[in-house]
Structure 1
C-alpha cells in the first residue's frame, strides 16, 4: 500500500505518539514522492474552498501531503466534503487527519471510522507499562536498557513520555553504545530538583525522621520548588492509601499494580513501608499535606518552615 491515494486518521490525546504516527506517514509519502507539497492546516480554518486548496495540486507539484490538525473542529458545512475526500483521496493525495481524542467532533470521527478509513489510535501507556515503553524506546535508539534501569528512569523522570524520551536520548549519548544501567540513571538524575522531592516522600513513607528532614533541606538547597515537595508527598500518600485498601485482595503484583495505578516495582516500596501506616494515619497525613500545599502557595510566609511542619506532622501519624 502506498501513502498516496490513502487517508489516515490519527486519534488520541498522547501527543508524542500522535506526532510519530503523523511523521511516519509523512516520511513514507516524501520517500515515494520527494517533490510533494506539504499542506498543514488546523481544521477550524477550513472552509469549502480552503479544503479544496489544501488537498488540491499546485503549479509546482501534482502530489500533495495534506495534514489537517484538530479535525474534530471541522466546520459543519465542510464535514461531508472532508469525508468524501477521505473515502476517495485520489492517486495524488496523501491525507492525514489528526484528532485529539475525546468527544469533540465525535460525529465526524464515527463517520470516518464507519467509512473504514485507516485509523491509528494512540494512548499513553499506563503507569505499570512505562518501563516496557522505555525499553522499547531504548531499542529504537539502538541501546540496551535493563529492567532495573527502566524502573529507575521512570522513578526519576515521571510519567511524561516526552520527558522520558528526552532523558533516554541523553542517556544513550552518554552510554557510548553500552547498555544503560541503573547506576548511570541514578548518577545522571541525582541532582534534579524534582527527583529530590520524591526522595523526601520516600523517606517519610519509610518513617525515617532524620533522613526525611535531611532530604528536605537538600531538596530545597538544590532548588526544588516547595510545591514539588507537597506534590510528591500527596502522590506518595494517595498511593499508599490505595495500596492499603487493596492489600487484602487476592491478585498478583501486576494486577494489583494496575488496580492501584502504579508500576509493579513500586509495590515493593509500598509493601516494605506499609507496616508504618494505617488508613487513619494516611487520611490525617493527606489533610496535613493539603494544608502545607496551601501554605507554600502563599498562605504562609515561610515555606521551608511549613514543609518541615508538614513532614514532622505526617510522621507523627505513622504506626508505632
Structure 2
C-alpha cells in the first residue's frame, strides 16, 4: 500500500483530530485508540486494518500485548522486511503495559517507519501518561472509545446501529431493546444485527418483545434503581430473577450502597450551586439523575435507607444466617423509605 496520509509538516505526522469516532478512525503512521469500550476499540482497529487492506490486500498485521511486552520488540516488528511489505502493528492493552513498551513507543514516535501503521490501544487511566501526552503533542489522531453507560447513550447507539444497516425502529422499540438486553454493548450490537436479519420494515416494540421479552437485565444496579424509585414490587421481582440467574447477594448490596451514597453526596451540596456539584467527580448524567431522584427523598429517609443497607452489608459478609433474605429486606426498607 502507498504510505499512509501524512501532513506537510516536518514531522511527517497526520494532523490531530481529537475525539474521532470509531467510524472516522484514519489510516495514519500512528493512531491512538483510547477508551474502555472494547467493542468500539475493536471496530476502530478493524476499520484501520480494512483501510490498509484496501491499499494492499496482503498487508501484514501484527498484534502485541503491552502487558507481556519485552524491550525492542516494537523495533523488530516495524523494521523493513526483505520484500518491503507494508505492515499494521497493533499494540493492545497499553493501560496495563510494561515500562519497556512506553519507552519504545516514545522512541518510535520520533521516527515512525515508512509503510507502517502503528495502532496504540489504551483502555483508560493514567498509566503511560507521558506517552499519551507526547502523542497528543505530536498531533497523533485519537479515536475516542469511551464507555457507554447512560440510557441516553445506549439509545443513541442502538439507533445508529440500525441506521447503518439501513433500518429504523420507533422510540418504544429502541427503549424496549435497551431495557431487555442491558448494558453490554456487544450484546446490544448483536441484538440489533439479529433484528435486522430476521425482520423487515420498521422495527416496533412488539417485535422486540417477541425476540427479547423476559430478558430485562436484573443486575444489582437495576434492583437499586427500582428500590430508590420506591417501586418495591419491581425491585423484589428483579432481585429474585437476579438470584435465579446466579447473581450473588454481595454485588446487590454494593449497588444499593453506591446508589445511596451518590444521592447523599449530591443532596449535601445541591444548594451550593453547579460549581459544588461539578466537584463531586460524578458524570453529568449521574448528577442529573440523582437530582431527579432526590425529589422523593428527605434527609431522614435517606439516613434510614443507608442504615438498612449497612445492616445488610454486615449480614451478607458473615453476620447473618441468610444473605439473600437480608438483601431482600434491605431492598424493601429502601423502597419503603423512598415511598414514605
Q: TM-score, normalised by structure 2?
A: 0.70
CA contact (8 A) 2:226 2:235 kept: yes
CA drift at 1:309: 2.1
1:254 matched residue in structure 2: none
2:167 matched residue in structure 1: 143
* C-alpha distance in structure 1 between counterparts of 2:166 and 2:270, whole Å: 39
CA contact (8 A) 2:35 2:144 kept: yes
Cα deviations across residues 153-198 of structure 1 (Å, max 9, x unaligned)?
3334443423332333344344x13433333444544433743867
Matching of residues 235-250 of structure 1 within 5 Å: 237=260
1:132 matched residue in structure 2: 156
1:305 matched residue in structure 2: 325
CA drift at 1:131: 1.4
Distance 1:104 1:218, change over 3 A: closer
Q: How many residue pairs were aligned? A: 306
CA contact (8 A) 1:40 1:54 kept: no
Are 2:177 and 1:153 equivalent residues in the alignment? yes
Distance 1:113 1:236, change over 3 A: closer
Instruction: Give the one of 181, 184, 198 matched to 2:204.
Output: 181
Are 2:71 and 1:47 equivalent residues in the alignment? yes
1:317 matched residue in structure 2: 337
2:146 matched residue in structure 1: 123
* C-alpha distance in structure 2 between counterparts of 1:84 and 1:311, whole Å: 57
* C-alpha distance in structure 1 between counterparts of 2:222 and 2:129, whole Å: 43
* C-alpha distance in structure 2 between counterparts of 1:187 and 1:305, whole Å: 33
| Matched position secondary structure for 1:317 | helix
Cα deviations across residues 58-97 of structure 1 (Å, max 9, x unaligned)?
34662222222345645265355311233xx31x222222
2:38 matched residue in structure 1: 15
1:111 matched residue in structure 2: 134
2:110 matched residue in structure 1: 84
CA contact (8 A) 1:73 1:104 kept: no
* C-alpha distance in structure 2 between counterparts of 1:130 and 1:19, whole Å: 18
Unaligned runs of 5+ in 2: 6-25, 275-281
Distance 1:281 1:260, change over 3 A: farther
Distance 1:183 1:316, change over 3 A: same
CA contact (8 A) 1:12 1:123 kept: yes
CA drift at 1:135: 1.1
* C-alpha distance in structure 1 between counterparts of 2:55 and 2:167, whole Å: 30
Distance 1:116 1:210, change over 3 A: closer
94-103 or 179-188: which moved more? Answer: 179-188
CA contact (8 A) 1:9 1:96 kept: yes
Alpha-carbon RMSD across the aligned residues, in angstroms, is 4.0
Q: TM-score, normalised by structure 1?
A: 0.74
1:289 matched residue in structure 2: 309
* C-alpha distance in structure 1 between counterparts of 2:231 and 2:38, whole Å: 40
